[in-house]
Amino acid sequence: MHLDVVDLRAFYYRTKLGRVAQRNLQAGLRRLWPDTKGMTVVGFGFAAPFLRPFLEDAARVMCLMPDQQGVMPWPSGEANHSALVEETSWPLAAGSVDRLIVAHGLETCELASALLSEIFRVLAPGGHVIFIVPNRAGAWARRDATPFGYGRPYSFGQVETLLRNHKFLPERHAAALYGPPSHRRFWLRTSGIWESLGARMDAQLIAGALMVEATKQVYATPKSGTPVTVPGPLEVLEGLTKPKPKPALGRV
């Protein structure tokens, strides 16, 4: 079940904790994608808080919001880049997206397979997608005071298995939101310290959000361990009858 766009907007733009989360996730995405010059960058779900840095160099930036969630104009005070779309049917041409960010989209989607098929369709060959999902082992997934406390949380392994089953190739993963999901001033002021310390520790145990990057797998690879049988020349001819001599013609 998707959260309402009003609640998502209120968290990320009107609370200090939301702005801290926005800043830390932006930094993590920019480390993975430092250069998007000339590319088409799209966000799905509620990715607006993380897309603004890409407005500087990308050729096109679009923010798609599912109809179950609702839409808001974005970015504020500028020409609108957002649109309301059906969750599993986007008004984009096949192979038209170079970079895609899915935030608050996968974990709340009831039709995950259909969503992943649509993502595969719109991605360009070799295109990259990053999924931002709640960490099932983290404190943020256990509190509904933030958007990461809703929907299905994941582990790195679960996301990567899901992606492989839908013809994506997981490439890299990262994490963010190592501090507790608290609105208290002390935790907010020390969020930078927590991010620095968390980057040196096991992200799967303490991070609030996981980021998994994958590419569109254009050519299918055989499943591991599947034997490939190549018939020999005699097997190819097996079943053919032996040639028979042509009967001699009688004399006239």
The pLDDT tens digits for 58-114 are 999 999 999 999 999 999 989 999 999 999 999 999 999 999 999 999 999 999 999
What does the longest C-alpha to C-alpha distance in the chain come to? 116
In tens, the pLDDT along 189-199 reads 998 898 888 87
Give the per-residue pLDDT at 252: 41
Residue 17 is predicted with a pLDDT of 96
In the chain, the percentage of residues whose pLDDT exceeds 70 is 87
CA within 13 Å, CB half, 56: 8
Is the pLDDT at 249 greater than 80? The verdict is no
**DSSP 8-class letter at 192:** H
pLDDT at position 48 is 97
Please tell me the predicted confidence (pLDDT) of residue 237: 47
Give the CA-trace dihedral at 42, 47, 52, 53, to 10 degrees: -80
Q: Which strands sit side by side in the sheet containing 82-85, from one edge to the other?
A: 82-85, 60-66, 40-45, 97-103, 123-134, 209-216, 168-176
- The pLDDT tens digits of the residues spanning 11-63 come to 999 999 999 999 999 999 999 999 999 999 999 999 999 999 999 999 999 99
- Residue 128 sits at the vertex; the CA angle it makes with 19 and 195, to the nearest 5 degrees, is 35
Question: Taking the CB of residue 145, how many other CB atoms lie within 10 A of it?
Answer: 13
> Can you give the pLDDT at residue 234?
46
